[in-house]
Structure 1
């Protein structure tokens, strides 16, 4: 492949990388095409060529960040389907925590900005990309909790796990996405925090399963 063939794709990747970072920092409304192009070392015409408009760049930069993070931290935690349900759930929780805790991960930060200043642009893409991951978590929770539990209990367990994971995102937002060096709620050891979320969650799941089976 010649340089002429690879140059447009390299420009596109630079634009997506810069856009995902800036949208994560500033949100859709405050981010500008000029700033994104400046960081990507590209001209505004290249945005029109590759993405047509700011809205499409926003969507594609989120998808780019999301897929990059899934590649770095596979949602199954790198475990095979032969692992126990608890092991697979632990792997999925750890993957989620590591993705959120990575300072170079931007998809969750973009969602956080979207929640604060809704554009509704991400609604369809989130449904297509996030919902499959969510459903996998629900299936694992149901497997871990057993057949005696209700759908409401499964939803509550899911909400509890996600709440712990997103504590990292809240701290990143409070500190401007800087490392968690001196915050009173010190979560700087991301791997240790991931292990805690796993242990805490599994203990709760076992207690709920035991209670449900005895009723």
Structure 2
């Protein structure tokens, strides 16, 4: 029987994320997910429709992560404003305790694709990466996305993902960075400042050549 004090839909979603990550889509069953979530067998149908719809909902945080902030599209966005807008979704996801399961889930998608991510991992994030590169081009006075711009973009992405999406590593080396919401916000602001300096250095390097 469902526990009335809990949000059944969210409980099923959290449990499904873990079960799909541990077993993969094909081996995970709706019955198992409902039992582990302490929900009755009809709950998935009521809240999500069917197994594939539940799986889509599990993948939604990653889909939201690939959305391109409006600030990166606008030609007149200041450098720091655009970078903060780019990093903020990562900071938001850092509060999600499901992130370790999401990492495992995406690894499974690469090895055992379900078709839900119709392209590979790189193509899934490519539009966001390319938009970041175009934003960097504007602020580095670069006419094309060359190797240096790609390297800069990948470096910025790596910085953000390491700080906000690798909780085990952060906890091992610097747990204070993500201790609470205030710490997360301070980390975001420092990251944005550091990223701004890197972009400004690349712009200066180009002017000297």
TM-score range, shorter chain: 0.5 to 0.7
Q: Does 1:92 align with 2:100?
A: no
- Contiguous gaps of at least 5 residues in structure 1: 1-9
Residues 64-75 of structure 1 mapped to structure 2, 5 A cutoff: 65-66=61-62
Provide the TM-score with structure 2 as the length reference: 0.67
Provide the TM-score with structure 1 as the length reference: 0.65
1:201 aligned counterpart, secondary structure: helix
Give the conservation status (yes or no) of the 8 Å contact 1:148–1:213: no
Q: 1:165 aligns with which of 160, 163, 180?
A: 160
Q: State how far apart, in whole Å, the 2-side matches of 1:209 and 1:92 are.
A: 19
Change (3 A) 1:40 1:85: farther
Aligned residues: 190
Query: Paired residue for 1:101?
Result: 94
Pairwise CA distance, 1:37: 1.4
Give the conservation status (yes or no) of the 8 Å contact 2:79–2:139: yes
Q: Does 1:185 align with 2:178?
A: no
Q: 1:147 aligns with which of 142, 152, 169?
A: 142
Query: Paired residue for 1:203?
Result: 197
Superposition RMSD on alpha carbons, in Å? 4.0
Query: Paired residue for 1:5?
Result: none
Q: 1:61 aligns with which of 46, 55, 58?
A: 58
Q: Does 1:19 align with 2:4?
A: no
